[in-house]
Structure 1
Amino acid sequence: MPAFAQAQAGSADAQFKAITDKEWAWRKQQQGDDDGPGKLRAHLPDVTPKAQAARLVYWQDVRRQVAAIPADTLSPAVRVDQQVYLAQIDVLIAQQKFHEWEKPVNSDTSFWSGLAGMGRRTFSNEEEYRRYIALMTEFPRYFRDQTANMKAGLARGFTAPQVTLKGRDASIAAVADKAAQDTVFFEPFKAMPAAIPAATQAELRRAGLKAINEAVLPAYKDLLTFVRGTYIPGARKELAAETLPDGKAYYRSVIKEYATTDMTPEQIHAIGLSEIAKIRTEMQETMKEAKFDGDLPAFLQFLRTDPQFYVNTPQALLDRAAWTAKEVDRKIGRFIGHLPRQRFGIVPVPDDIAPFYTAGRGGPGVYLVNTYDLPSRPLYSLPALTLHESAPGHAFQMPIAAENKDQPDFRRETYISAFGEGWALYTERLGTDMGIYQTPYEKFGMLSYQAWRAARLVVDTGVHHYGWSREQAQQYLHDNTALSNHEIETEVDRYIAWPGQALAYYLGEMTIMQGRRKAEAALGPKFNIRAFHDTVLALGSVPLPILSARIDQFIAEGGKGPYPDEES
Structure 2
Amino acid sequence: MSTHTPAPEPTRPPSAVDAVAEAYTTRAAELDPLGATAMGLTGYDHLMTDLSPAGHEARAEADRAVLRALDGLEPVDDVDRVTLAAMRERVGLQVELHDAGETLASLNNIASPVQELRDVFDLMPTGTVEAWENVAARLNALPGAVEGYVTSLSEAARRGRVAAIRQVRVGAEQARELADPATSFFTTFVSGPEAAAVLDESAACSLVRAELERGAAAARDAYARLADFLETDLAPLAPAQDAVGRERYALLSRTFLGAEVDLDETYAWGLEELARVVAEQEEVARRIAGPGASVEDAVAVLDADPTRTLHGTDALRRWMQETSDAAIEALDGTHFDVPAPVRDLECLIAPTQTGGIYYTPPSDDFSRPGRMWWSVPADVTEFNTWRERTTVYHEGVPGHHLQCGQAVFARATLNSWRRLACWVSGHGEGWALYAERLMADLGFLDDDGDRLGMLDAQRMRAARVVLDIGVHLGLPAPEQWGGGTWDAEKAWTFLSANVNMPESFVRFELDRYLGWPGQAPSYKVGQRLWESTRDAARAAAEARGEEFDVRAFHARALGLGSVGLDVLRDALA
TM-score, with length taken from structure 2: 0.83
Is residue 479 of structure 2 the alignment partner of residue 458 of structure 1? no
Deviation at 1:126, TM superposition (A): 3.9
Partner of 2:341: 341
Partner of 1:142: 145
CA contact (8 A) 1:283 1:447 kept: yes
Q: Aligned AA for 1:193?
A: V
Partner of 1:556: none
Partner of 1:379: 385
Is residue 443 of structure 2 the alignment partner of residue 435 of structure 1? yes
Q: Aligned AA for 1:439?
A: D
Deviation at 1:481, TM superposition (A): 4.4
CA contact (8 A) 1:192 1:201 kept: no
Q: Aligned AA for 2:469?
A: T
Partner of 1:444: 452
Which residue of 187, 196, 199 maps to 1:191?
196
* Structure 1 residues 306 and 484: CA distance shift in structure 2, 3 A: farther
Deviation at 1:291, TM superposition (A): 4.2
Cα distance in 1 between the residues matched to 2:203 and 2:312 = 41
Partner of 2:315: 316
Cα distance in 2 between the residues matched to 1:282 and 1:501 = 26
Which residue of 449, 452, 477 maps to 2:495?
477
Cα distance in 1 between the residues matched to 2:466 and 2:256 = 16
Partner of 1:290: 288
Helix, strand or coil for the counterpart of 1:138?
A: helix
Aligned positions of 1:62-211 closer than 5 A: 62-69=66-73, 74-120=76-122, 121-178=124-181, 182-187=187-192, 190-193=195-198, 198-211=202-215
Deviation at 1:519, TM superposition (A): 4.2
Question: Bigger CA drift: 479-488 or 527-536?
Answer: 479-488
* Structure 1 residues 344 and 233: CA distance shift in structure 2, 3 A: farther
CA contact (8 A) 1:255 1:501 kept: yes
Question: Bigger CA drift: 337-346 or 165-174?
Answer: 165-174
Q: Aligned AA for 2:77?
A: S
Name stretches of at least 5 consecutive residues in structure 2 with no aligned partner. Answer: 1-11, 363-369, 476-485
Helix, strand or coil for the counterpart of 1:102?
A: coil
CA contact (8 A) 2:107 2:167 kept: no
* Structure 1 residues 312 and 124: CA distance shift in structure 2, 3 A: closer
Structure number with the bigger relative contact order (C-alpha 8 A, sep ≥ 6) is 2
Partner of 1:404: 410
Cα distance in 2 between the residues matched to 1:170 and 1:236 = 18
Aligned residue pairs, count: 530
CA contact (8 A) 1:175 1:183 kept: no
What's the CA shift string for 1:533-557, capped at 9, x where partnerless?
A: 21121111011122223333xxxxx
Cα distance in 1 between the residues matched to 2:19 and 2:453 = 49
Partner of 2:255: 257
Deviation at 1:424, TM superposition (A): 0.8
Deviation at 1:366, TM superposition (A): 1.1
Which residue of 500, 517, 530 maps to 1:499?
517
* Structure 1 residues 169 and 229: CA distance shift in structure 2, 3 A: same
Cα distance in 1 between the residues matched to 2:284 and 2:462 = 18
Cα distance in 2 between the residues matched to 1:165 and 1:379 = 35
Deviation at 1:433, TM superposition (A): 3.0
Question: Bigger CA drift: 527-536 or 421-430?
Answer: 527-536
Partner of 1:416: 424
CA contact (8 A) 1:119 1:188 kept: no
Which residue of 351, 367, 372 maps to 1:367?
372
Q: Aligned AA for 1:326?
A: D
CA contact (8 A) 1:457 1:503 kept: yes
Aligned positions of 1:233-272 closer than 5 A: 234-242=237-245, 248-272=246-270
Helix, strand or coil for the counterpart of 2:292?
A: coil
Partner of 1:543: 564
Helix, strand or coil for the counterpart of 1:53?
A: helix
Cα distance in 1 between the residues matched to 2:194 and 2:247 = 48
Q: Aligned AA for 2:100?
A: F
Which residue of 503, 521, 533 maps to 1:515?
533
CA contact (8 A) 2:187 2:216 kept: no
Deviation at 1:422, TM superposition (A): 1.0
Q: Aligned AA for 1:491?
A: E
Cα distance in 2 between the residues matched to 1:487 and 1:505 = 18
Helix, strand or coil for the counterpart of 1:368?
A: strand
Cα distance in 2 between the residues matched to 1:216 and 1:306 = 44
Q: What is the aligned-residue identity percentage? A: 22
Cα distance in 2 between the residues matched to 1:282 and 1:527 = 27
* Structure 1 residues 232 and 390: CA distance shift in structure 2, 3 A: farther
Is residue 326 of structure 2 the alignment partner of residue 327 of structure 1? yes
Q: Aligned AA for 1:62?
A: V
Cα distance in 2 between the residues matched to 1:304 and 1:473 = 27
Cα distance in 2 between the residues matched to 1:504 and 1:143 = 30
* Structure 1 residues 187 and 116: CA distance shift in structure 2, 3 A: farther
Q: Aligned AA for 2:17?
A: F
Partner of 1:4: none
Alignment RMSD, CA only? 3.1
What's the CA shift string for 1:14-42, capped at 9, x where partnerless?
A: 54344333333222211126686253534
Cα distance in 1 between the residues matched to 2:290 and 2:502 = 20
Partner of 1:245: none
* Structure 1 residues 304 and 459: CA distance shift in structure 2, 3 A: farther
CA contact (8 A) 2:126 2:194 kept: no
Name stretches of at least 5 consecutive residues in structure 1 with no aligned partner. Answer: 1-9, 243-247, 553-568
